[in-house]
Amino acid sequence: MTRADSLHIAGADRRTKTSRRGGRTFVQVLGRILTYVLVAAGAVATATPFVWLILSSFKSLQEVVLFPPTFFPKKPVFSNFREVFSMIPFGRYYLNSIITSVIPTVATVLTSSMTGMGFAKYRFAGRSLLFWIILSTMMVPFPATIVPLYVMVSRAGLVNTYAGLIVVGLSSAFGIFMMRQFIMSIPDELLDAARIDGASEFRIFLQVVMPLTKPAVATLTLFTFTNHWGAYIWPLIVVNSDRLRTLPLAIPYFSGQYFSFQNLINAASLMSIAPVLVLFMFTQRYFVQGIALTGLKS
């Protein structure tokens, strides 16, 4: 922070010098205003659907179908959020989404860290081949494997089960790559010191390496959780009973059945997005740092 600040001051210094020479302050001020205008315009365009969603979820049924549409709810109602639960088994869908997102996320973070650790900190026969194979699976589009995966899962008797939903999400090549890159930046001396103290390899992993990977773990958690929370094609295929529907399946289904109840659909959508928004707010400060430190640095 302080380093960045001093650089900033240095930059400002330089700018005053150039402005003294060429009198560019006006252009700079203009550029600055233009920057704000552009950034704000883009943000407004991006956020409008959300603002619209939020405002509509507080409107009554009569108001939500008005044309021309009202922007702010004339008389905000809060009952929409309650009514969703009585109209559809929303709590059940929510629980399904939590189960099918939390378990794969925890598993992915654990398996990616372990595998990343193996590739980053040990030399062994077949290391580069195996790593290359895992990396290259990133090139395989998931939809291209759904047919054989479905056949496998159905033969295992896992169609219409939580296990069938979860099983395809227990690790991630991206996560392995990211954790490997991150763990490689941890100095070997730290691990050797722990070895001399008699720590086992697994203990080194848990107590020396893992605590240092916080930004990467935070980023990976956000990515993975977001992915699973929004997973669509696999649940669509593997689940056909209403009891196991997750939110990304249930909301479009709800919307298709009761399209005119837009106030309720909006309330349900808003509640469905809430967890990822909260998670993002908590992890976002690690986020750019996490990305910068891993894959893209090279």
Partner 1 sequence: MNPGSSAAVAVRRRPFTWHRLQKLVAPYVFISPGVIFYLMVTIIPMIWGFWISFHKWSIIWPAHPWVGLANYRALLTEDLFWTSLRNTAVYTAGVVPVELALALMVALLLNTKLRGRGIFRLLYYLPVVTPLSISAVIWQWIYHPHVGLLNWLMRVLRLPTHDWLQEIGTAMLAVVIVGIWSGVGYRMVIFLAALQGIPQTYYEAAMIDGASGFALFRHITLPLLKPATLFVLVTSVMSSFQVFGLVNVLTQGGPLDATNVVVYYIYKRAFGDLQFGLAAAASFVLFAIILVITAIQWKLVGREVSYE
Find all residues with CB under 8 Å of 174, minimum gap 6, and list them.
138, 223, 295
As measured in angstroms, the least distance from the Cβ of 39 to partner 1 is: 5
Residue 83 or 175 with smaller CB distance to partner 1: 175
243 touching partner 1, by CB under 8 A = no
Residues 97-136 touching partner 1, rule: CB under 8 A, are 110-112, 114-115, 117-119, 121-124, 127, 130, 133-134
Q: Is 72 exposed, middle or buried (0-12, 13-18, 19+ CB in 10 A)?
A: exposed
- Single out the residue of 9, 20, 50, 190 in contact with partner 1 (rule: CB under 8 A): 50
- Single out the residue of 84, 88, 166, 167 in contact with partner 1 (rule: CB under 8 A): 167
Residue 29 or 133 with smaller CB distance to partner 1: 133
Structural tokens at position 181: 């890159």
Residue 92 or 195 with smaller CB distance to partner 1: 195
The closest alpha carbon to 180, from 293, 61, 18, belongs to 293
Residue 72 or 124 with smaller CB distance to partner 1: 124
The long-range contacts involving 244-247, CB below 8 angstroms and separated by at least 24 positions, are: 244/96, 244/160, 244/161, 244/162, 244/165, 245/93, 245/96, 246/93, 246/96, 246/97, 246/100, 246/165, 247/93, 247/94, 247/96, 247/97, 247/272
What Å distances lie between residue 117 and 18, 168, 171, 271, CA to CA? 50, 22, 14, 37
Q: What angle do CA 252, 233, 57 make, to 5 degrees?
A: 25
Residue 185 or 284 with smaller CB distance to partner 1: 284
241 touching partner 1, by CB under 8 A = no
As measured in angstroms, the least distance from the Cβ of 184 to partner 1 is: 10
258 touching partner 1, by CB under 8 A = no
Residues 179-238 touching partner 1, rule: CB under 8 A, are 195, 198, 200-202, 205, 222, 226, 229-230, 232-233, 236-237
Would you say the C-alpha torsion 232, 238, 240, 243 has a positive or negative sign? negative
Q: First-to-last CA distance in the chain?
A: 24
As measured in angstroms, the least distance from the Cβ of 243 to partner 1 is: 19
23 touching partner 1, by CB under 8 A = no
Residues 52-71 touching partner 1, rule: CB under 8 A, are 52-53, 56, 64-69
137 touching partner 1, by CB under 8 A = yes
Residue 161 φ/ψ region, left for φ over 0, alpha for ψ in the -120 to 50 degree band, beta for the rest: beta
- Single out the residue of 61, 87, 173, 212 in contact with partner 1 (rule: CB under 8 A): 173
35 touching partner 1, by CB under 8 A = yes
